[in-house]
Amino acid sequence: MTKPTLAELAKNLDTGHVSSVELSSALLDKIDSLDGDIGAFLRVDRANIERYAKESDERRAAGKTLSTWDGIPIAIKDNIAVKNQHCSCASKILESFISPYNATVVERLKNAGMIPFGRVNMDEFAMGSSCENSGFNPTRNPRSLDRVPGGSSGGAAAAVAAEMAPAALGSDTGGSIRQPAAFCGVVGVKPTYGRISRFGLVAFASSLDQIGPLTNNVEDSAVLLDIISGHDPKDSTSLKNSATSCANALEDLPSDLKGIRIGIPKEYFEMEGLDADVGASIQDAIDAFKRLGAEMVDVSLPHARYAVAAYYVIATAEASANLARFDGVRYGLRAANPEDIMDVYLRSRGEGFGEEVKRRILLGTFVLSSGYHDAYYLRAQKARTLFRQDFDTAFERCDIMLSPTSPTVAFKLGDRTDDPLKMYLADVFTIAVNLTGGCALSLPTPTPGADGLPVGLQLMAPPMQDEALLRIAGTFEMATNA
């Protein structure tokens, strides 16, 4: 199957080689034929998709297209609000919830004429690294159906990898875009915190969450970032002057990377659990960067070993506060025949939340409780400051840093469901970027790992250096055909 870029799709739509109705119909047919085995989509609103596609074709025929990208479908992770559609976060507690408004990113897609294309599966409330924690069904990796697609944006990555959608929007709290992108062999970008509005994103950990694209190539990610970025007064964490010009940064890419300094954080390559095949594939990528003229610089992130521990204190503490709103009173699941208000709270949450969500709420509530706040939460926040200082110091010596995205290729379904700590360590290389607020992406390495499965190469840059990051990644992709 071919993988047309968004630019190619736009050209085909503009020349009349294909209509938006035909494109959407072909993708819907592909979902019908493939998704029974993969399970990437939770819901597909065919009637609205067909209506939006028809309206796009009518605008194009009248010469009134909303943008170059008018009529192109984009899959949406199930924790991003689309008006009048389900927004369940893959949780039983929100199974019947219909969003009354659009997320800002969805509003911006629609303003460009793009079509919200189905609700894709995820780990419940974005809590997971394998897409096995969905309250409805696990998603399988299109590259190997006995493997996980990664998480929590596993449905988005799988939909793009299986070519059931040309691109998707996911969310990244500790690696939830980059890790599934690595497992499925696609490109996933975690933008600088604050460049993309979080309004309409159901919160997991508010100081860490960020929406970003999953696509088949770097250029497509740049296109989507330009569409969805920019200041939003509805989001108090939205940065001023945060609009991007990423697509422009990918014009006239250089043939080499001379003058670019790439940091190799030694701690990331010394951690236990890095599979030999993944390490070899990353070394091949490093060699490719050298051939392109980039300078490799050894850097140190001395506190990196504490990132996972700090993350699972901060993220769970914020989750405990954010998920308190799901109490069976205002919206979502309510337990039948409650004895009193306390029974409503306890049974509704007990019946509605899955095991991993309960685990994280309990952990977060514990670290915020009297007598433990200073010992755990405050200390984790102090560690977060040290991570930021480590990254700032490293970036004084290099333009970007390089690491594996995940220590392994996609693991088999069920392999880690009984070992939460082992599951958490799948994000050991991605978590620190969320804690420091910088930007990062994952793209496939030129050489696969074990069993021919994709290996993700993570590139990290300082905050607000998204364009430079994508330009380097685009040059590498072009030179290696990764």
Question: What CATH number should be reported for the domain holding residue 79?
Answer: 3.90.1300.10
Contact at 8 Å (CB) between 429 and 377? no
Domain that holds residue 50: 6-241
Q: Which residues of the chain have pLDDT under 70?
A: 1-2, 482
The DSSP bridge partners found for residue 263 are 297, 401
Residue 417 lies in a domain: no
The DSSP bridge partners found for residue 410 are none
pLDDT at position 331 is 86
How many angstroms separate the CA atoms of 77 and 171, rounded? 8
Please tell me whether the overall predicted TM-score, pTM, comes out greater than 0.95 for this model. yes
- Considering the candidates 99, 134, 153, 176, report the single residue annotated as catalytic: 176
How many angstroms separate the CA atoms of 311 and 318, rounded? 11
Contact at 8 Å (CB) between 118 and 45? yes
83 is catalytic: no
152 is catalytic: yes
Residue 343 lies in a domain: no
Residue 203 lies in a domain: yes
Structural domains in the chain (count): 1
Name the residue with tokens 């880690």. 416
What the block records as the tokens of 293 is 């003229």
Residue 202 lies in a domain: yes
Contacts of 197 (CB under 8 A, 6+ apart): 103, 104, 105, 211, 228, 230, 232, 234, 235, 238
Residue 54 lies in a domain: yes
Supply the angle between the helices 218-228 and 466-480 in degrees, to the nearest 10: 160
pLDDT at position 1 is 34
- Considering the candidates 20, 129, 130, 152, report the single residue annotated as catalytic: 152
- Considering the candidates 19, 77, 134, 153, report the single residue annotated as catalytic: 77
Cβ burial 335-358 (10 Å sphere, 16+ → b, else e): beeeeeeeebbebbbeebbbebbe
Residue 164 lies in a domain: yes
Residue 364 lies in a domain: no
Reduced to 3 states (helix: H, G, I; strand: E, B; else coil), residue 443 is strand
pLDDT at position 457 is 98
Name the residue with tokens 């700590």. 421
pLDDT at position 251 is 95
Pairing of strands 115-120, 41-43: antiparallel
How many angstroms separate the CA atoms of 125 and 360, rounded? 11
Residue 176 lies in a domain: yes
CA 38 to chain CA centroid, nearest Å: 18
